[in-house]
Chains A and B, each alone.
Chain A
């Protein structure tokens, strides 16, 4: 089916009309095997596509990290590092990483905090010129601060969390790291629990984004920060056409070659196009009740980092 598709006229359907065009709808429906429920219908994103999303990530869980590197040419690491940099967590912070899957953000968070603590200790050592032996031994033995800062990774998909947990075990990181299977629209956490809530490249997979945002507001402490990394709209037309060509031509192919799953990555690319742009999403976050909402465009708008506070 994909081999038969020629480049000329049909290609432009993808770029111009998305899915509203009748002919392309039929083609979308024909991609799906008969027994699989198609969720890309016209009244589409209002229907619950959770089973579809679950299957997608279940299929790709083992190869998820490799695929991220291949698809984004390693740039996803830069985006995630930027998220941590903007977050600038201090020792003692409690993080909830939703749709955290394989734990990329959580690992970076713990590492950042560890470096912060070392920096603070060095600063303290420098300022106290002649520390007593008691001070020095206190510095070595207390691990209190690193026990206080904790990262909870929540994801709807067990497979992704299992991969993440294996990664943690192989890296030897487990202090202050917890894994929970949960739904972003119905978080299994009490109110006012976390300092930082992050959702990196996960919110577009949520069926009811406003519910997820309200849950985020609920579990954050007052003064807590909501941070969201997500693919967004590229404004520059040249970059936009390169990006579109790359997304629709290369990404499903890479998905097929590496993960053996064309359709999941096609779903990925389609879900990115469906997601609201920077301003719209900012509006949604403000509607949920967050203050001081702003966004940073990364890589020319390919990815946007949205941030808001619960006050």
Chain B
């Protein structure tokens, strides 16, 4: 087992070739330098775009209802509660306190 540890210590940061097999598959899909609305693209790596396959599992942490992806503002919107969760660098931020209120007359989200 320690041989494994040593070899990992040495090679951990230096092996882009290790994962070559997925390469050709990715290139077959839509190139990453496409328009922002290409969220049907599941496997892009070049730009920090939001992976739409996440939408299958993601829900609002407060109401547990599905969310809508808004490509213009790059946010995930829960219409029911009127809040929008921001996406930074392709990583959605699902902390309720950091969500933006869409309607001005909505009540404050409860902090925990």
A-to-B contact residues, CB < 8 Å: 48, 69, 74-75, 77-78, 81, 143, 146-147, 150, 152, 156, 158, 161-162, 165, 169-175, 178-183, 185-191, 193
Docked-complex contact A143 and B96, CB < 8 angstroms: no
Say how far B108's CB is from chain A's closest CB, in angstroms.
16
Docked-complex contact A182 and B91, CB < 8 angstroms: no
Interface residues of B in 73-99 (CB under 8 A from A): 88-96, 98
- Are A143 and B53 CB-contacts (below 8 A) given A81-B4, A182-B94, A190-B64? no
Docked-complex contact A186 and B61, CB < 8 angstroms: yes
In the bound assembly, the distance between CA atoms of A231 and B60 in angstroms comes to: 32
In the bound assembly, the distance between CA atoms of A191 and B63 in angstroms comes to: 12
- Are A180 and B91 CB-contacts (below 8 A) given A69-B9, A77-B5? yes
The size bracket of the interface on B is 35 or more
Q: What residues of B have a CB within 8 angstroms of the CB of A156 in the complex?
A: 95
Residue from B23, B90, B94 in contact with A172 in the complex, judged by beta carbons closer than 8 Å: B23
Docked-complex contact A178 and B51, CB < 8 angstroms: yes
Residue from A146, A162, A172, A180 in contact with B18 in the complex, judged by beta carbons closer than 8 Å: A172
Docked-complex contact B9 and A190, CB < 8 angstroms: no
10 closest A-B pairs by beta carbon, nearest first, are A188-B94, A172-B19, A181-B93, A188-B61, A182-B94, A186-B61, A174-B45, A179-B91, A190-B59, A172-B16
Docked-complex contact B57 and A190, CB < 8 angstroms: yes
Q: What residues of B have a CB within 8 angstroms of the CB of A182 in the complex?
A: 61, 94-95
Docked-complex contact A74 and B9, CB < 8 angstroms: yes
Interface residues of B in 17-50 (CB under 8 A from A): 18-20, 22-23, 25-26, 42-45, 48
A178's nearest neighbour on chain B, judged by CB, is B54
Q: A173-B19, A178-B51, A183-B94 are in contact. List 7 more A-B contacts (CB 8 A).
A: A81-B1, A158-B88, A172-B23, A175-B22, A180-B58, A180-B91, A181-B93
In the bound assembly, the distance between CA atoms of A174 and B91 in angstroms comes to: 13
Docked-complex contact A162 and B9, CB < 8 angstroms: no
Tell me if B102 counts as interface (CB < 8 A to partner A): no
Main SS class of interface, A: mixed
Docked-complex contact A181 and B94, CB < 8 angstroms: yes
Tell me if B8 counts as interface (CB < 8 A to partner A): yes
Tell me if B62 counts as interface (CB < 8 A to partner A): yes
Q: What residues of B have a CB within 8 angstroms of the CB of A158 in the complex?
A: 88, 91, 93
Say how far A159's CB is from chain B's closest CB, in angstroms.
11
Q: What residues of B have a CB within 8 angstroms of the CB of A189 in the complex?
A: 57-59
Q: What residues of A have a CB within 8 angstroms of the CB of B59 in the complex?
A: 188-190
Q: What residues of A have a CB within 8 angstroms of the CB of B103 in the complex?
A: none
A166's nearest neighbour on chain B, judged by CB, is B89
Docked-complex contact A193 and B9, CB < 8 angstroms: no
Candidate in A81, A150, A179, A191 with the most chain B CB atoms within 10 angstroms: A179
Say how far B112's CB is from chain A's closest CB, in angstroms.
7
Q: What residues of B have a CB within 8 angstroms of the CB of A185 in the complex?
A: 112
Docked-complex contact A175 and B43, CB < 8 angstroms: yes
Q: What residues of A have a CB within 8 angstroms of the CB of B18 in the complex?
A: 171-172
- Are A180 and B54 CB-contacts (below 8 A) given A161-B91, A188-B61? yes
What are 9 sample pairs from A and B whose C-beta atoms fall under 8 A apart? A81-B1, A146-B22, A161-B91, A162-B91, A171-B15, A171-B16, A180-B92, A188-B92, A190-B59
In the bound assembly, the distance between CA atoms of A81 and B18 in angstroms comes to: 19
In the bound assembly, the distance between CA atoms of A262 and B13 in angstroms comes to: 27
- Are A179 and B90 CB-contacts (below 8 A) given A74-B5, A156-B95? yes
Residue from A146, A171, A174, A183 in contact with B61 in the complex, judged by beta carbons closer than 8 Å: A183
- Are A178 and B53 CB-contacts (below 8 A) given A74-B9, A172-B23, A188-B58? yes
Candidate in B45, B91, B95 with the most chain A CB atoms within 10 angstroms: B91
Q: What residues of B have a CB within 8 angstroms of the CB of A169 in the complex?
A: 45
Q: What residues of A have a CB within 8 angstroms of the CB of B26 in the complex?
A: 175
Say how far B32's CB is from chain A's closest CB, in angstroms.
11
Q: What residues of A have a CB within 8 angstroms of the CB of B64 in the complex?
A: 190-191
